[in-house]
Amino acid sequence: MAPPRKAPADHLARTMYQPEYEVADPESFVEIKTGSIDHSETTLFAIDGHHYTISTPVPAGFTLRALEMMAKESEAAAMMWLLKELIGKAAFEALANHPDVTTEHLKAILDRLQVLTIGAMEDAGKG
């Protein structure tokens, strides 16, 4: 009698959940030290020569909260929250109230913001 065939799902599950990297020592942990990161100001956008900046690298807590918001609400809600939190009320009002800001400007700003937050996390995973 032939051995029972394994369901295709068994193979799929093994390939999906097999890590592409070595699993870390279960006794190891991540240590985070205050003051160990050098931050700098990065211009997100400028209006009439006035530069609106955010601190980079953006603390991962913002990315974590945005990912949670994406899961619960939507990507648009998360990106709006990130924008308001990172540039502040005055910069947000300057952007929202300027008569010459176009949808192309907003898209470019939000794309850059995504690269500096969620994209930075994705890039870190590639190294």
Cα Dmax for the chain: 80
pLDDT in tens, 64-122: 999 999 999 998 999 999 999 999 999 999 999 999 999 999 999 999 998 988 887 66
Residue 1: band (very low, low, confident or very high) from pLDDT cuts 50, 70, 90: low
**pLDDT at residue 2, as a whole number:** 57
Higher pLDDT, 12 or 48: 48
**pLDDT at residue 83, as a whole number:** 94
Higher pLDDT, 36 or 2: 36
**pLDDT at residue 15, as a whole number:** 53
For the chain, give the secondary structure using H, E and C. CCCCCCCHHHHHHHHHHCCCCCCCCCCCCCCCCCCCCCCEEEEEEEECCEEEEEEECCCHHHHHHHHHHHHHCCHHHHHHHHHHHHHHHHHHHHHHHCCCCCHHHHHHHHHHHHHHCHHHHHHHHHC
Q: Where are the domains of the chain?
A: 39-126
**pLDDT at residue 36, as a whole number:** 86
**pLDDT at residue 22, as a whole number:** 63
pLDDT in tens, 18-42: 555 566 677 788 888 888 889 999 9
**pLDDT at residue 117, as a whole number:** 87
User: For the whole model, what pTM was predicted?
Assistant: 0.69
Neighbouring C-beta atoms of residue 27, cutoff 10 Å:
5
